[in-house]
Amino acid sequence: MAKIGMWLYQNGGGDEIQKKLIKKLSKEGIETVSDLNLRNAFSRKGKIICNETVMEELDLFFSYNAGQQTQYQMYLYEALSYSIPTLNDFRAFALTEDKFKTNYILKRNGIKAPNYKLYHRDDVKELKTILKNWGGKMIYKPTDGWGGVGLVKIENEQALEMILPFLNQTDIRYFYIEKFIDYDNTDYRIDIVDGKFISAYGRKAGKGDWRTNISSGGSIILREPDDKVIELALKATEVTGLDIAGVDIIYDREKEEYVVLEVNGIPAFATPEQEKLGLDFNDRKIDAIVELIGKKIDQKA
């Protein structure tokens, strides 16, 4: 019998999702060891051991716990990915955890995303020219941020003057900026599993904010994407290598085109509250993930 390991978030209805996943997997003849939080793991003699499970003996490790994974967890996740299949694949996951690397890969593949620049910290003086070239608006983003935290919108030269001393004081070696896209403060979140479209919804920013993140005051909106949006999300997912992805897309009003803002490797299931609002994709997504896991195990065998 095949056996997989799982670490899935428990808040926001995650515990119920986990139960359903385990039940459906079991119907497919796949046993699950859950709660494999690598925070509790150690490694010796060529084995990673988590809650008494020898991770290398599993057929696959499904890691799905958003928020900040610690460096320790990421380190073991990476090592494990050399021994057994991980879902998402560690390499793809690590790529999409980084905003610069993601945008870099999207652009390399001709996928529309905001213009960006990555600088060495000593080259900050260039910022003024860039600000002008981009029409006077840009965003400073920590490359590993989440939830809209740490983003700084720079709208004029005075704002830039104010942030420069701060940037000089930090010990980051590089910094990443993006052109501020003129958009209507709403976005699309497109869920993809195994190269297939699962669902679409959107979010709109809270009053007075330009960030659509729920944790920054945004709220869910029901919306139907046109085919262009879905196609863009599928392409973006493909080039990142993610098996499970949530692609964030906005509409650039100036260039009159859709752009990919972010590709998330752990897009949340709908919470019970969001299900009440009409987000009804959870079961579809669970089925697709179960099918995907079965496929991965077969490939391995």
Ligand X SMILES: Nc1ncnc2c1ncn2[C@@H]1O[C@H](COP(=O)(O)OP(=O)(O)O)[C@@H](O)[C@H]1O
Instruction: Compute CA distances 217 → 20, 29, 149, 160, 249, whole Å.
Output: 30, 42, 12, 25, 18
User: Is 262 one of the binding residues for ligand X (CB under 6 A)?
Assistant: yes
The residues in 79-98 that bind ligand X, with binding defined as CB under 6 A, are none
153: which 2 tokens? Answer: 């919108």
- CA-to-CA distance for 221 and 207, rounded, in angstroms? 15
Choice between 25 and 250, CB closer to Mg ion: 250
Among 29, 135, 136, 145, indicate the residue that binds ligand X (CB under 6 A): 145
14: which 2 tokens? Answer: 């995650």
Beta 152-154 vs 138-141: how paired, if at all?
antiparallel
Among 85, 148, 225, 267, indicate the residue that binds ligand X (CB under 6 A): 148
The residues in 38-57 that bind ligand X, with binding defined as CB under 6 A, are none
In whole angstroms, how close is the CB of 198 to ligand X at the nearest point?
Answer: 20
Q: What is the binding site for Mg ion (CB under 5 A)?
A: 262
Segment interacting with ligand X (CB under 6 A) among 48-56, 75-83, 147-155, 228-236: 147-155
Segment interacting with ligand X (CB under 6 A) among 21-29, 56-64, 209-217, 265-273: 209-217
Instruction: Compute CA distances 123 → 39, 117, 173, 179, whole Å.
Output: 38, 11, 11, 17
For residue 34, the one-letter residue type is S
DSSP 267: P
* Contacted by 61, from ligand X, Mg ion, none: CB < 5 to 8 Å by type: none
Choice between 49 and 74, CB closer to ligand X: 74
DSSP 170: S
Q: Are 266 and 64 contacting, i.e. CB atoms less than 8 angstroms apart?
A: yes
In whole angstroms, how close is the CB of 85 to Mg ion at the nearest point?
Answer: 27
Interface contacts to ligand X, rule CB under 6 A: 99, 114, 139, 141, 145-149, 151, 178-181, 183, 187, 210-213, 248, 261-262
